Structures are given as structure tokens and as C-alpha cells.
């Protein structure tokens, strides 16, 4: 057993290609997120979210192509003029006409994409690999000539022929592309496939790698993490994971993963306390609720229920928590209103209510709560009422006792003074004793 403070979830020191401690975020809420079914983004919203993402500290913000619509172009130009620290990218098709419009919008870089799988080539754009390669070279050289960053990504990379992928990636790498993109456009990839593909491509190019994972099979965050292990440096995210279909890697969930693996890097680079605000802003705008099981911000993400858990959490939160809610500006909650509760949880509640009860009394209350919890669901109010009623009863008994003691003392002192030992006095005393 390793008794040192080594992080068991940290990057493997043998993974010399790993970027788990040095990754970058490209947030595409304002491009991929705009493709979410419920999304209708106004200029005001785009400005607000861009500023919030900048404050959070994402490295890049990717926005919808200016060719998509007049309004898209206006929004892109407006966000570029905000003077944010975060670099602004726009996402365009791999053709020179789109590139010419993009470079005139004030962006820091251009993210170019084209489908390379059999499906995309047959049913989407209908072009062969030599056409794709020529178009890529033309666009990359043009964007570079304007002094801007350029990324070239294939679409549907996991269903593309590996020889085709290596050919095009090595070609664009040779002409100085800044990043190549690998995209799991249909969300079918699993972590092992991701590791193998990213690792293979990484060994053939010298530029950086960006990865884009859809969440159709629930692997988006795991795939993103594995891609970093294999040498990818840039991860595409959106707030709450919104995007085409059921979306991509969620920024908050990805931060939950990374703060566990790479706490120093993550906490020094990103303002984690902004996550909740970002998610609330996006959830309200696209009219969805934050899911109950969302990492970090799901309503029960830091709620502990079972008595045995509550006891340990109260003694040391790390016993059942891998993430400290305080890192995200949140607090943990001990769920005490159920049949699974324990007396330690009830004791904590008694202290919160500022009541004074002994451990034995609290154990008695816990029994009552568990008994009622067997019969029906309990609310916090139910538990608080049981505690308060019990407390009131014990207080009443104690007050009555005190009152009785006082009366007895008074009686005794007056009897001593008068030397009264009459039958009347004895009767009064008997009454008090009863």
C-alpha cells in the first residue's frame, strides 16, 4: 500500500505523451451548442456567454461560421471586438470562399473541417480524398498567409480509413497547420479506440491535436480524458454538453474529471466557481433543467444519505467524496430525512437547529424518525418537527422539575424559619414529591 499523498487518479508517469496536466479547452457552446435542438441564441446571449467563458478561463471560444447567416457574421464580429483574453475561433467548411469571409471577421484563428468517412464522402459532400487534400492545402496556406491560427479536422474520423487519415494529417502537418482535429462525430467511439487512434496519429505528426467527442453512447468525457492520455492537447466542450443530438463533452463534467486527476493545474488555471453560473445561464436560455445526476451541479451531487455515509462524511468528508464542493463554490448536504438516516446525521441537524440534547436523547429521536420513515416519505420539515417536539417536551419536563425544586426549597426554608412541622406542612411536601 502506498501511504504517501500520491494521487491515485493522477496521470500515469509512464504516459510520456500525456497532456492530462497541460490540456487546453476549446469551448464551442457558441457553435456546436447552437446546433442543439432548443437553441436560439441572440446577440445579447452570445456576448454574455462569451464574457462568462472568458472569466472562467477557457483557452478558446469557437463560434458559428460567418457564412451561416448575416446575423451569425454580426455576432462573430461583435464577440471578436469585446477584447477578451480568450482567443476567438470560427468553424468553417473546407473551402476557400468560406475562409475568405472568416479571416475578415477579426478572429484569432479558423477551425476547418471536412468529412472523410465513406458515409460523409458518399452522402454528404461527395468528394474524393485527393479533392479533400487539395482543398485543405489551399485553405491552410491562405489562412496562414493572413497570420491566423489554423486547425484542420476530419469529420467522422473513427469511421474513416486510417491510411486516408494519416495521409491527410501528415500532409497538412508538413505545411504548418497549428492543430489537427480528430472528431467522433457520431459518438460511437470507446476509450480504447480513442487511445489507439490518437496515439497512432500523434506518432506521425508534430503539430498539436484537438479532439471532439459526441456523447451518443455516453463515453464523451471518458473519451476526452483518454485522448489527453494519448497525446491530444485540446478538448472541445460546451456548457452542459449541448450540441447536435445529445451533444458533446460537457464543460462542467469535464472539469469534474480533470480536477480529480490534475487538481493543481485545474484549480490554478480555471475559475471553477463560475461553472454553476455558466450552466444556469445556458440551461435557462435553452429551456432545460440541469440534470439531477449532473457532475458538480446536479441537485444531489454532494448529498449524502445513508447513515453510515453521513457518519463518515461528518468525521472526514473525503471518506465518501472525491471532489470538494467548496472548490466549485458549493456545499455538501447531509440528507437526514429518511429511514436510512443515522444518529450522527440527526445530531448534526440538532446542532444546526441550535438545540441542546444529549446523545441518548438524539438516539431516541432517530428511532422515531426511522420508524416514521418506514411508513412514508419524510420531508426535512417532518424531521425538524420531531426534533423540535422532542426538545420542547424535554424542556417542559425540565422546567417543571426546576419549578418543583424551587417550591420545595422555598417550603423547606420557610418551615425551618417558623419551626413548622405541622401536618399541613407535611401534606404540602408530600404533594410536591408526587
How far is the C-alpha of 246 from the C-alpha of 132, rounded, in Å? 29
CB atoms near residue 339 (< 10 Å): 15
Q: Looking at beta carbons only, is 186 or 355 nearer to Zn ion?
A: 186
DSSP letters of 198-233?
HHHHHTT-SSEEEEEEB-TTS-HHHHHHHHHHHT--
Q: Looking at beta carbons only, is 32 or 59 nearer to Zn ion?
A: 32
| Binding residues vs Zn ion (CB under 5 A) | 32
Minimum Å distance from CB 236 to Zn ion? 7
Q: Looking at beta carbons only, is 32 or 54 nearer to Zn ion?
A: 32
How far is the C-alpha of 83 from the C-alpha of 86, rounded, in Å? 9
Q: Looking at beta carbons only, is 32 or 279 nearer to Zn ion?
A: 32
Q: Is 391 labeled as catalytic in the residue annotation? A: no
180-212 core/surface letters (b: 16 or more CB in 10 A; e: else): bbbbbbbbebebeebbebbbebbeebebbbbbb
- Catalytic pick from 91, 309, 335, 371? 309
Minimum Å distance from CB 243 to Zn ion? 5
Minimum Å distance from CB 64 to Zn ion? 12
Q: Looking at beta carbons only, is 254 or 302 nearer to Zn ion?
A: 254
How far is the C-alpha of 405 from the C-alpha of 424, rounded, in Å? 19
Say if residues 211 and 234 touch (Cβ distance below 8 Å). Answer: yes
Q: Among candidates 229, 165, 163, 167, which has minimal Cα distance to 192?
A: 229
Beta strands in 214-302 (DSSP E): 234-237
Minimum Å distance from CB 139 to Zn ion? 19
Q: Looking at beta carbons only, is 156 or 164 nearer to Zn ion?
A: 156
Q: Among candidates 314, 256, 238, 292, which has minimal Cα distance to 36?
A: 238
Minimum Å distance from CB 210 to Zn ion? 12
Residue nearest to Zn ion (CB): 32
> Could you tell me which residues come within 8 angstroms of residue 103 by beta carbon, excluding any fewer than 6 positions away?
110, 142, 143, 146, 148
Which contiguous run of DSSP H or E holds residue 150? strand 149-155
Minimum Å distance from CB 249 to Zn ion? 10
How far is the C-alpha of 352 from the C-alpha of 305, rounded, in Å? 17
How far is the C-alpha of 207 from the C-alpha of 209, rounded, in Å? 7
List the catalytic residues.
309
Amino acid at each position: 500500500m502506498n501511504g504517501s499523498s500520491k494521487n491515485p487518479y493522477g496521470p500515469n508517469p509512464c504516459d510520456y505523451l500525456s497532456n492530462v496536466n497541460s490540456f487546453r479547452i476549446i469551448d464551442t457552446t457558441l457553435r456546436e451548442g447552437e446546433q442543439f435542438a432548443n437553441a436560439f441564441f441572440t446577440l445579447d446571449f452570445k456576448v454574455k456567454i462569451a464574457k462568462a467563458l472568458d472569466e472562467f478561463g477557457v483557452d478558446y471560444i469557437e463560434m458559428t461560421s460567418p457564412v451561416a447567416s448575416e446575423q451569425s457574421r454580426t455576432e462573430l464580429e461583435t464577440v471578436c471586438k469585446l477584447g477578451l483574453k480568450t482567443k476567438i475561433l470560427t468553424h468553417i467548411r473546407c473551402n476557400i470562399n468560406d475562409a475568405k469571409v472568416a479571416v475578415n471577421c477579426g478572429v484569432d484563428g479558423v477551425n476547418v473541417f471536412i468529412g472523410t468517412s465513406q458515409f460523409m464522402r458518399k452522402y454528404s459532400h461527395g468528394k474524393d480524398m485527393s479533392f479533400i487534400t487539395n482543398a485543405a492545402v489551399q485553405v491552410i496556406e491562405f489562412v496562414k498567409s493572413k497570420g491566423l491560427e489554423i486547425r484542420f479536422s476530419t469529420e467522422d474520423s473513427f469511421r474513416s480509413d486510417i491510411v486516408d487519415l494519416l495521409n491527410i494529417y501528415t500532409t497538412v502537418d508538413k505545411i504548418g497547420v497549428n492543430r489537427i482535429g480528430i472528431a467522433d462525430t457520431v459518438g460511437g467511439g470507446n476509450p480504447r479506440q480513442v487511445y489507439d487512434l490518437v496515439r497512432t496519429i500523434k506518432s506521425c505528426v508534430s503539430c498539436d491535436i484537438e479532439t471532439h467527442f459526441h456523447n451518443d453512447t455516453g463515453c464523451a468525457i471518458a473519451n476526452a480524458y483518454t485522448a489527453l492520455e494519448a497525446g491530444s492537447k485540446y478538448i472541445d466542450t460546451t456548457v452542459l454538453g449541448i450540441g447536435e443530438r445529445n451533444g458533446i463533452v460537457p464543460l462542467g463534467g469535464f472539469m469534474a474529471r480533470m480536477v480529480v486527476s490534475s487538481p493543481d493545474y485545474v484549480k490554478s488555471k480555471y475559475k471553477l466557481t463560475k461553472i454553476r453560473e455558466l450552466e444556469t445561464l445556458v440551461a435557462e436560455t435553452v429551456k432545460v433543467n440541469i440534470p439531477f445526476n449532473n457532475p458538480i451541479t446536479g441537485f444531489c451531487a454532494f448529498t449524502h444519505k445513508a447513515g453510515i455515509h453521513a457518519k463518515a462524511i461528518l468525521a472526514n468528508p473525503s471518506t465518501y467524496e472525491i471532489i470538494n464542493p467548496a472548490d466549485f463554490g458549493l456545499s455538501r448536504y447531509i440528507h437526514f430525512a429518511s429511514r436510512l438516516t443515522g444518529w450522527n446525521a440527526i445530531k448534526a441537524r440538532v446542532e444546526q437547529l441550535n438545540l441542546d440534547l444529549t446523545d441518548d436523547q438524539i438516539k431516541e429521536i432517530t428511532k422515531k424518525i426511522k420508524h416514521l420513515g418506514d411508513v412514508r416519505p419524510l420531508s426535512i420539515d417532518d424531521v425538524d418537527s420531531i426534533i423540535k417536539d422532542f426538545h420542547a417536551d424535554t424542556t417542559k419536563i425540565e422546567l417543571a422539575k426546576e419549578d418543583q425544586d424551587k417550591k420545595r426549597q422555598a417550603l423547606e426554608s420557610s418551615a425551618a424559619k417558623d419551626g413548622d412541622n405541622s401536618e399541613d406542612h407535611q401534606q404540602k411536601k408530600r404533594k410536591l414529591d408526587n
